Amino acid sequence: MTLLPATHHDLVSELVRRWRDDPGATYRSWFLWDERLKNFRSIRRGLQQVVAEIESGRFGVAYRGSSLETVVHSIAEQRQIFKGADHAWLWKPKLRIPDIYESPDNQRAFGRLLDNCSCCDTAEEIISHIRSIDALKIKGLGPAAANLLYFLHPTLVPPFNTAIVKGYNAVTGAKVKLGSWDHFLAMRAGILDLNDRYRELLSNDLGAIGGLLFDIGSGRYPAPPLEDDATAADDWLGRLEHARAEASRLDKTAAAQGETDRTHAEIQAWLRDLGHALGYDVWIAANDRGRLHAGCPLGQGCLERLPDAIATSPGADSIRLIDVLWLAKGGDGVAAAFEVEHSTSIYSGIVRMLDLALSGSDLHAAAGLFLVAPNAREQDVRAQLRRPAFSRIADLDFAYLPYGELERNRDAIARFGTGLKAIKAISSPLP
């Protein structure tokens, strides 16, 4: 076994390099995941809705069915790091926490925190708003709210959960405790310091170092020894190799147990090719155009820019991220829009579809809207669409298109189909 340099700094650098190369760790499975970036806009939009409902007195007195549940669920869907993020927001009647449902004053204070932080630009302002909410001593409203603030300011606020705290304590020797804003702010300062020291291996986006600490705290990797000792370093390297082998084995087992081995890009390619066969112009999501499938970019042969009628519409920034659009040949009207919900982020896909349908243009107001997902996800899709935040969907042409139906029928549709009739025939109306 090769001895590593014995300094703690060098050991952490070695760990980060290995972590970045690990396909099952959060760096590749979450931080570099295209859907993570797509989620930012929809979560920010959802938080604006939470603020608006609190300010107008429409938020209600329960978490279930609220706009906050919708936003937190979209965060918890990112299971690679945020699984269980909704637990802190569930109403616990015996403890009467978090006390933002039954206390109108506390609810408004929470709304002000979100609103103020969404409008500010500096760390000093964010910390000031955190201090203000902390001074109110609202029962149960602690640093779990930092996950909301992360999606508002990813370069200023790190994500937060039990595993991240455990990872931070293990790497630094600190004793940060859960539930305290003071401890969270101390950890934030320490995370920024760590991020600066390993900046060439991490990112300005604090999600990267948050993911690293999560993987340490959740047991995927052992933390390097704090002491500078060659024997301890060599022992740590052995434990690291064992941990990586075990994690790889578990990753393969989980993949084998998955419902489908279809990839997100593969489904997009099916829809791209089917759209072309039916005579449509096709748009591939702006951040997916260069992704490879079968050795070719997904955007090959597709539109390079959206028609002006769409590109200048109110929801253009969101519409350009819809997975696949079919447009009338040479025209500027959208005939169909498809969001591929391979594993998570149903909420974000629905928001992008609504942006298209409600963008104010008659050219695509009647577009067919399809959520394309594994067969087993139908109930997840329908559950999301029953949320009050999506009440407008009842007025729109939404449908669920399962992978299995698409795979079985796409060749026949390409050969004999016209328009959207066949696609709608193999889809189920929503909600």
Asked if the model's pLDDT at residue 14 lies above 80, the reply is yes
In the block, residue with structure tokens 């945020």: 82
- Average pLDDT on 290-310 reads 86
Asked if the model's pLDDT at residue 344 lies above 70, the reply is no
Q: 170 — phi, psi (to 5°)?
A: -65, -40
Is 164 or 309 the better-scoring residue by pLDDT?
Answer: 164
d(Cα 81, Cα 353) in Å, to the nearest integer? 26
Per-residue pLDDT, 83: 85
pLDDT band at 194 (very low <50, low <70, confident <90, very high): very high
Q: Which residues contact 315 (CB under 8 A, 6 or more apart)?
A: 355, 356, 358, 359
Per-residue pLDDT tens digits for 215-270: 999 989 999 998 877 788 888 888 888 777 776 766 654 554 343 445 788 899 99
Per-residue pLDDT, 377: 78
* Range in 16-25, 123-132, 193-202, 390-399 the model is least confident about: 390-399
Share of residues in the chain with pLDDT > 70 (%): 91
DSSP, residue by residue, 210-257: HHHHHHHHTTSSPPPPSS--HHHHHHHHHHHHHHHHHHHHHHHHHHHT
pLDDT band at 397 (very low <50, low <70, confident <90, very high): confident
Q: How far is CA 286 from the centre of its chain?
A: 17
> Do the bridges between strand 334-340 and strand 324-327 make them parallel or antiparallel, or are there none, so unpaired?
antiparallel
Asked if the model's pLDDT at residue 5 lies above 70, the reply is no
- Average pLDDT on 298-315 reads 88
Q: How are strands ordered across the β-sheet holding 281-284?
A: 281-284, 324-327, 334-340, 368-373, 398-402, 428-429
Per-residue pLDDT tens digits for 149-169: 999 999 999 999 999 999 999
Task: Calculate the alpha carbon distances from 380 to 73, 332, 405, 430 in Å.
Answer: 12, 33, 18, 12
Entry pTM: 0.70
Is 42 or 174 the better-scoring residue by pLDDT?
Answer: 174
Per-residue pLDDT tens digits for 72-92: 988 988 888 998 888 999 999
Q: How far is CA 133 from the centre of its chain?
A: 26
Per-residue pLDDT, 311: 87
Per-residue pLDDT, 256: 45
What string of H, E and C letters represents the secondary structure of 277-297? Answer: HCCCEEEECCCCCCCEECCEE
Tell me the pLDDT of the chain averaged across its residues: 87
Paired strand residues for 324: 284, 338
- Would you say 28 and 22 are in contact if contact means Cβ atoms under 8 Å apart? yes
Share of residues in the chain with pLDDT > 90 (%): 52
Is 262 or 128 the better-scoring residue by pLDDT?
Answer: 128
pLDDT band at 107 (very low <50, low <70, confident <90, very high): very high
- Average pLDDT on 136-148 reads 95
The answer for 137, left when phi > 0, alpha when psi is -120 to 50, beta otherwise, is left
